[in-house]
């Protein structure tokens, strides 16, 4: 396959810009691509601030690729438990559908990184999960109306198990919880 064929195929990943999440972004919803970028930026900040000794490049790659499957499977908000029942199966199917649409190297990387993220066993994947959760919470600080129906126990239920993997991310999470309580985000 020539380079131009690969360049045409790489556009498949660009479709992530058109997958919209539950989170607000001004007068529209945030795209999964925007979330991946902000999560990578947040990871860079926290890794720099805390000097945590894990593989930064692997963390960045995990965050860039973790939602690519949403091109086929769509995004399902964390609190929509009934819709999440077949999420893993649908995302595994999405990887298989996306593979032939991507350049070979990207397809291999997608599958490898997606599996590592989902297995959540390596320090990097655990950190990426914590960042994924922190990013969504931080993002929503600008959209108080999106907090309607949420309370502290829900926030902890959907996030705490992930952010607790590292004392550093747990501390950031606890600061966020204090902030949202103090500023009346919970309805």
Question: What does the chain come to in residues?
Answer: 187
Percent of the chain with pLDDT strictly greater than 90: 60
Q: Tell me how crowded residue 163 is: count the other CB atoms within 10 A of its CB.
A: 27
- Dihedral sign (CA 96, 107, 14, 126): positive
pTM, two decimals, is: 0.90
Per 3-state DSSP, the chain is made up of helix, strand and coil in percentages (nearest 5) of 75, 5, 20
The answer to whether 165 and 129 are in contact (CB under 8 A) is yes
How far is it between the farthest Cα atoms of the chain?
Answer: 57
- State the DSSP string of 53-102: -S-HHHHHHHHHHTTTTHHHH----TT-GGGGTTHHHHHHHHHHHHGGGS
| pLDDT per position as a tens digit, 51-67 | 899 999 999 999 999 99
Q: Where are the domains of the chain?
A: 3-182
Residue 182: its pLDDT value, please? 95
Q: Any idea what DSSP says for residue 26?
A: T
Residue 117: its pLDDT value, please? 96
| pLDDT per position as a tens digit, 149-166 | 889 999 999 999 999 999
Average pLDDT value for the chain: 89
The answer to whether 170 and 163 are in contact (CB under 8 A) is yes
pLDDT at 84 over 70: no
The CATH number for 3-182, chosen from 3.30.450.40, 1.10.3210.10, 3.40.50.720, 2.60.40.420, is 1.10.3210.10
């Amino acid at each position: 396959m020539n380079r131009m064929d690969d360049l045409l195929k790489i556009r498949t990943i660009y479709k992530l810009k058109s997958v919209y999440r539950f989170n607000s972004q001004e007068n529209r919803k945030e795209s999964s691509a925007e979330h991946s970028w902000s999560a990578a930026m947040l990871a860079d900040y926290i890794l720099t601030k805390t000097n945590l000794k894990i593989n930064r490049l692997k963390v960045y790659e995990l965050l860039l690729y973790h939602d690519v499957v949403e091109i086929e499977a769509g995004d399902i908000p964390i609190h929509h438990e009934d819709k999440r029942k077949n999420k893993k199966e649908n995302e595994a199917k999405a990887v298989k559908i996306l593979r032939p649409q991507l350049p070979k190297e990207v397809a291999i990387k997608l599958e490898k990184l997606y599996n590592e993220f989902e297995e959540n066993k390596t320090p990097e994947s655990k950190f990426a999960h914590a960042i994924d959760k922190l990013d969504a919470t931080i993002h929503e600080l600008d959209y108080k109306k999106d907090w309607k129906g949420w309370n502290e126990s829900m926030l902890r239920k959907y996030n705490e198990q992930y952010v607790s993997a590292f004392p550093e991310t747990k501390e950031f999470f606890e600061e966020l919880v204090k902030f949202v309580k103090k500023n009346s985000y919970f309805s």
